[in-house]
Every structure is written in structure tokens, then in C-alpha cells.
A and B are shown apart, each in its own frame.
Chain A
Amino acid sequence: NAGVTQTPKFQVLKTGQSMTLQCAQDMNHEYMSWYRQDPGMGLRLIHYSVGAGITDQGEVPNGYNVSRSTTEDFPLRLLSAAPSQTSVYFCASSEQPGRNTGELFFGEGSRLTVL
């Protein structure tokens, strides 16, 4: 039972580099989202998607891009990494929120350090 799979688990970048965090789920969930976790601030929503081809911004979208070409995958792109993007990133999915109360299933997290 894979659930939500994130890669890589750890990554170190230099300022200005680009990278993509991968997220895949095998539960046929229509809703997927990305959060970042910083000390003392809990989980903050970056972007979310309610289905293939549909994405929208969360609380802290600046500096991040997403796309949703398939139901299973929801990659998060950093086009030009900044030290402020040093964080732990979590991908989460749920069944379509409109049809249920939206319990989230999380990946294991990706720790990103930007030097």
C-alpha cells in the first residue's frame, strides 16, 4: 500500500537553482496539495488541485509552480530557489472535498535546504 509517495526525501540546492519535488498517489484521490512546514508555523498551504488540469493557490504560493496533468501526480517546481524556501515540504491528498469532509493523507516529507 504505497499511499502518497514523495521524492526526493532530502535535497540541498544553491540559491538560484531550480528543482522539482515529485508527488504521486495511488488512491485515485482527486484532491492533492502541497504544504510547507516551518518551526513554530505549522503547515502552510502552497498550492492545491481539485483534479487533473485544475490548480489553485494556497496561503504561500510565491516562488512555486505546480501542474496536474494526471490524477496520480502533482509535482511542485521551484524555478529559482531562495534561502527562504528552506523547509520541509509535504504532499497530501484526499477524496474530492466536495463529496466528503476531506481527511488528508500525507507523504513522508521532503527536506529542502537552499544555501
Chain B
Amino acid sequence: ILNVEQSPQSLHVQEGDSTNFTCSFPSSNFYALHWYRWETAKSPEALFVMTLNGDEKKKGRISATLNTKEGYSYLYIKGSQPEDSATYLCAFKTGGFKTIFGAGTRLFVKA
């Protein structure tokens, strides 16, 4: 059974705070690691697709790193804004055809 774990489950921060979340995944049969952003009443949308050990990706104030050997990825948000409030999902893609999701980290940014 493939297990993808995310922590924390939820997070409350003030506007301007920087924050980070963790995603842990199996280190074997790795193909890709995805991060998705999921706003309330909308569909999940891909933020990053990461494939190589040591990968670092950045989109504006959001960045992510990947360690495939130890099976973890971090998502960082610098200077959080209220519009960053969402659930952030990570998903582990095996060499087969399955993409397995973690339960997500729900971020609340207070103005």
C-alpha cells in the first residue's frame, strides 16, 4: 500500500508570515511528485511537477524542493497573503499509472 503523508494537517498564519509544509512518500518506484493547490469550491490545480532528486521549483512566492532518496518534499510560501488560503495537496506518481494523494495541508492566512 502506497502511503503519502502530509504535515501539518492545517495551519493558521498571519499575513506576511512565511510558512512551509512537508510531504513524505515512498522512496522506491518513484516517478514524479506533484503539488496541487485546491481552493474551496474549485478544482485542484497543479503548482509543481518534480521528477529529479534535488529539484527546486519556484512560482512567485511559492517554492518546493524534492528529496527522492529519503522520500520527502517541502513546499514553502514566503510572505503569505490571504489569497494563499487553500488546501495544498501533494501527490506521488509511481512508475505505473497511479497518482496517490496525501490528505493535504489546509492553510488559513489571516489579514
Please give, as numbers and ranges, the residues of chain A lying within 8 Å of B36 by CB-CB distance.
Answer: 104
Per-residue CB proximity of A31-57 to B under 8 Å, as 1/0? 101010000111111001010000010
Beta-carbon contact of A45 and B100 below 8 Å: yes
- Please report the number of residue pairs spanning A and B whose Cβ atoms sit closer than 8 angstroms: 64
Q: Which chain A residues have a beta carbon within 8 Å of chain B's beta carbons? A: 4, 31, 33, 35, 40-45, 48, 50, 56, 58-59, 90, 97-98, 101-109
Quick one: closest A residue to B104, CB to CB? A42
Interface size on B, residues (CB 8 A): 26
**B71 an interface residue at 8 Å Cβ cutoff?**
no
User: Inside 8 A of B32's CB, which chain A residues have their CB?
Assistant: 101-102
Kindly list chain A residues whose C-beta atoms are within 8 Å of the C-beta of B100.
Answer: 45, 59
Answer whether A97 and B43 are a contact pair too, CB < 8 Å, given A42-B103, A103-B34, A104-B34.
no
